[in-house]
Every structure is written in C-alpha cells, then in structure tokens.
A and B are shown apart, each in its own frame.
Chain A
Amino acid sequence: MNRHEVIREDRSGGIFRVHRSVFSSAEIAALEQANIFQRCWLYLGHDSEIPNVGDYRRRTVAGQPLFWVRGSDGRVRAFYNSCTHWGANVCRVDQGNAEVFQCFYHAWTFNNRGDLVSVPDETGYGEGFCKEAMGLVSPPRVDNYRGLYFVSFNPEVEDLVSYLAEAKDYIDLILDQSEEGWRVVPGTQKYSVRANWKMFSLNSLDNYHVRPLHSTFFKYTESLGAGDPPVSPPNDFPGTQGRALSLRNGHGVDVFQSLTRARPIAHWHPILGEDSKEEIRSRRVRLVEKFGEERAYLMCNTNRLMLVYPNFALHDIAGVSLRYFEPTGPDYMEVTVQTLAPVDESAGLLNRRLENFLSFLGPGGFAHPDDIEAMESAQLGFRASGPEWIDASRGMQREGTALDEIHVRAFWRQWHANVLGRAKAERDHD
C-alpha cells in the first residue's frame, strides 16, 4: 500500500477510513520512528518526581536510554544515559539522589549537571583531549509546561507551548483543580500491550467503547449506590452529549459529564467513602469561589480523556492518570502509568483516590484489562487479509458528541502528515 493512500477521506459522503497495514507494516513503523518519535515533543516526567537537588529518574523515551536530574544549580536537565568514553550506562537504577554519576566501567565521573569531573589516569590523554567537551550529552530540547517535562530529539521542533496548542487549555483545566499543586504518587504501573502503539492513542480518546466494553465496571460501581446528584451544566455545554474535540497538532480531548460518577475533584460518590464527603464538597466550593460556577463545573463535574500527540494520555476521570506508551515493534508497545494527587490532599482521601483509581484503571482494574484485550484482539484481527480498512467516520455529518470520532480523525490527519514527512496536517478539523 502506497503510504499516500493509507487514509481515505470522503467529506461529502462522510467517510473516513484507515488502511489496516498501518498497524503492522515495518516500513510504516520505521517512518513513525523517524518522523514522529524523533521529531515531536515526548513526555518525560513531572517536576514532583525530582523535587530535591541531585534527585534523578531513569527513563526510556522513544527507545533511547535517558535520565533526568535536578542539578546542584537547581536546574532540571535530561541526559542520554551513556558514558562519553565507551558508552555504558552511567545511571544504573530507576531513581535516587546523587551528586555524581560514576561510570562503573572505567570510573569516569560526571557531576549532576553533566560535567565530566574526573578521569582516572588523565595524563594518558593527549593535548586534543578536552574534558570540558566530554560531558554527558543532552537531548536537543527539554522543556516543561506547568511541571510536565517533555523532551524532543528534534533541535528544530517548535516551542513546547506552541506544540501543545489547545491541549494547553485542558492541561490548565486539570492542573488548576488543585490550588496547592500536584505530585506524582509513588508507584508506577508498567505493562505492555501486544498491539500497535496507535491503538493506545485511539483507545485513550475513544468514548464510544466505554459503555459496551466496560459494562462490568459500571455494574460494580452502580451496586455501591448513588453519588451526589448531577450538577446542571452551563448553557453552552452540550449536556449529556458531551463533545469530542480536536485540540490541533494531533492532540484531542473527549469531554463528558461525570453525572453521578466519582471524582475526587470534586464529585462525591460512595466509592470515595463517607469520611471524604466534606473534603470533596468543600474543594468544590473553593473552586467555584476562585473560578466561577461555569469553570468549576468543567473542573469538578466533567471528565476528560485527553491525548497529547503522539503518545501521552492525560486522563481526568476517576483520578488523574499520566499514561505514556511507545512501540518496540509494529505489534508491541510498552506502557507506563502514574497518577497525580493534590499535594495538600488528606491521607484519607488519597487512600480513597487510589482505591477508586484501581477499581477502574490499571492492569488489575475492573475495566482497563478489557481495553488491552480489545487492542490485542484488533491487532490479531488485522492479520485477516479480507477486510482492508478500519472505519473512523463516526459523527462526520452531525454536531459532534462525546461518542464521536472527531479527535480520532484529528490524530490520523496529523499522523498521516508526519508519515508523509510533513510537520502539520492541512486541516485540524472535519
């Protein structure tokens, strides 16, 4: 299949199709590595993971070994995790605190700002050897938006804020929910999916599957009784219809009313426990005072499934989850999940937040294992040579709702532009 033709869009007929080969082709996977993972901004981590000078975390991003560290000057830097001498990893544990990183191979030593500070038997090197030029190497671009750090291997990449486009507004809407700021809760869910990585991007936006696929989860939560009554939406919010939105540059979000579903910020449900009622309700009151009823409604009584293109899903539903995933081949991906909590949250509500999170989310939850089953099942289905296309036409010819695929098409258009070597899609919207 010619890569120019892998997406078919018929606007007058309301048809949008993607050729199934994009989920299994090694040629496409190589183009994605070169044109997407080596060129976009990719999520690295949250500021709260390395709060103190010397704190570091090890991460693999787009297959590249990295670590990021808060240097003795307080600045956050990312480095390729490879000694400038013979290449071994200089950071050999997932997290910790260090003044220096000493390579275990020949004991070259780097400080936490990346400078090479010690070389055993340094006199063995000639005049041309410049220690100052042999420091740890950083990826071309590292930047953060409100504590969310991103890295890019593309020196020419646009500024992070401009890259985030309208996704920035939704990040604000989430982060503004805690007046005192957020922290990553310790504990990381690391798992894999035997499917193409794009299935995770799509599944992270898609709301159409939620009711049919996750019926056992709803059965469980409904058995616990009803939460606080739904709050009426402001005039311009499309009620129970919600909306699926393109946020430009391939980013998207699905916004829908939480109705009586639990939200630690700030909609009480029995799953969050009697003892947390007051804390949840009082936070809502504070948010209304600070932001007004309309914005507080969006913060407290709607849920968001957001994808920051290409591979960072920021979900604000039963809790705030940070999910990033990357391919190691066309039919396998590695997934990492963390969760945020307000820094000032009580121990009791944090406990309930985590219990609520685990009920739905994660590899042992009541819902997410079935997402993984669906993605893997689709990947197996793609082996069938009869059906050639997948369909993503839903809602092309109506005022979009949260069950439509507007954001999914926005993802595909940006993806297609990238695969064809272009930086941006011609259109962000239907």
Chain B
Amino acid sequence: MRDMNSRRENNSLDERIGKLLLEREVEDFIAREAAMLDEWRLDEWLGLFTDDGRYMVPSTDIPGGDPKETLGIINDDMARLRGRVERLKSRHAHREFPWSRTRRFITNVRIKEMTEEEIQVNASFLVYRIRSGQVDPLIGGYIYTLKRMDGALKIAVRTAVLDLEALRPHGTLSIIL
C-alpha cells in the first residue's frame, strides 16, 4: 500500500517535472525565435518551420478568420514565406531598407493542448518597430502549433493575432510579426 502511494507520488513528480521541462523548452524556443527576428537572422528563422509550415496574420476586424474564406493581412505557405524572406533581404524591399529596428516582448506562454504529434502554444506579444523617427507598437497574441522532429521543436503553424483595431498609425506590416 505504502509502495503504491509513493510510486504514484513519484509518477506525478515525474509528470510535473516533465511538464516544467517542456514549458521551459517552449519558452526558450520562442525566446530564441524572437532573437532571430530582432536580429534579422531570417534564413535561420525559416529553418524553424516544418516543410509544410504556415505563417498567418488575420485581419484586425475578424481576428479568428479562416484565411481560405476571409481576407486577412498575411497568409504564407512556405513558398510565399521564403519569398517574403528573400524580399526582405533585398535592398528593393523599400519599406524595410534599411531594416527597421524591432524589439519583441513575449510573455504569458501557455501550453494549451498536447497530443502525440503536436503542441499548441499561446503567448502574448508586444513588438515595437522603430524606424524613420517613429516607434510603433504591435500588440497581440501568438498561436503556435509546434511539432517535434528528430528531437527538435518545429513550427507547423504560426498565427499572430493582432489586438489592434487597425494598423494605425503603423501603416504596414512589413516586418515579420
């Protein structure tokens, strides 16, 4: 009887430690991702995605909109996302040449759901874009679908949902949010 109880406690301690380690791993993953974006290490950032990854920013009036039937702001499959990165590295992406400075504050990282294949993670963001004398804050939340591949976490879906009512006074979403 006593053995069983202590085993149960051990199991639950293992589970709790496992959960804590996963939370740390996910938080660390997101922090490293943010640093890649702030430092414009965009090729490295692309490597975080699965081959069929997706990056989306819905419109501000329908934040939960399905991009297949709702006009959003960004809906990139990997071909478009690679195109976006290629463009941002060019000196002809005039809105981002020279690159703006950005600083990302990402908090409230929560693991919402976990299956064998996927981890769904929500987080809050405050991203500042600084350029041409303007400081524009972008406020909202991330919804990630992460997958573990060969031991490492990869991004299958990355949706940035803006809390802003409009991209005003920002004008554009020319950085990767």
Selected interface stretch from A24-32, A38-46, A245-253, A331-339: A331-339
CB-CB under 8 A from A370, the residues of chain B are 93-95
A191 touches B95 (CB 8 A): no
For B, the interface residue count at a CB cutoff of 8 angstroms equals 41
B73 contacts A by Cβ under 8 Å: yes
Given contacts A191-B171, A192-B170, A370-B94, contact A354 B75 (CB under 8 A): yes
Beta-carbon contact of B92 and A187 below 8 Å = no
B94 touches A373 (CB 8 A): yes
Say if the beta carbon of B10 comes within 8 Å of chain A: no
CA distance A194 to B95 in the complex (A): 13
A85 sits at the interface (CB 8 A) = no
B70: Cβ under 8 A from any A Cβ:
yes
CB of B172 within 8 A of CB of A191, answer yes
B59 adjacent to chain A (CB < 8 Å): yes
Q: Are A191 and B170 in contact (CB under 8 A)?
A: yes
Number of interface residues of A (CB under 8 A): 43
Interface centre among A217, A347, A362 (most CB of B within 10 A): A362
In B130-168, which residues have CB < 8 Å from any A CB? 132, 134, 165-168
A192-B168, A363-B172 are known contacts. Are A216 and B74 too (CB-CB below 8 A)? no
Q: Which residues of A contact B171 (CB under 8 A)?
A: 191-194, 363, 369, 372, 376
Q: Complex formed: what's the CA distance from A225 to B132 in Å?
A: 37
5 extra interface residue pairs, beta carbon distance < 8 Å, beyond A190-B59, A358-B71, A363-B73: A189-B73, A216-B93, A220-B87, A350-B68, A364-B74
What residues of chain A have their CB less than 8 Å away from a CB belonging to chain B? 94, 185-194, 213, 215-217, 219-220, 223-224, 332, 334, 338-339, 347, 350-351, 354-355, 357-359, 362-364, 366, 368-370, 372-374, 376, 380
A-binding residues in B (CB < 8 A)? 57-62, 65, 67-75, 77, 79-80, 83-84, 86-87, 90, 92-96, 132, 134, 165-174
Q: What are 8 A-B contacts defined by CB distance under 8 Å? A: A188-B60, A189-B71, A354-B68, A354-B72, A358-B72, A364-B57, A364-B173, A372-B171
Closest 7 CB pairs of A and B: A187-B71, A190-B166, A191-B167, A369-B95, A192-B168, A187-B70, A369-B172
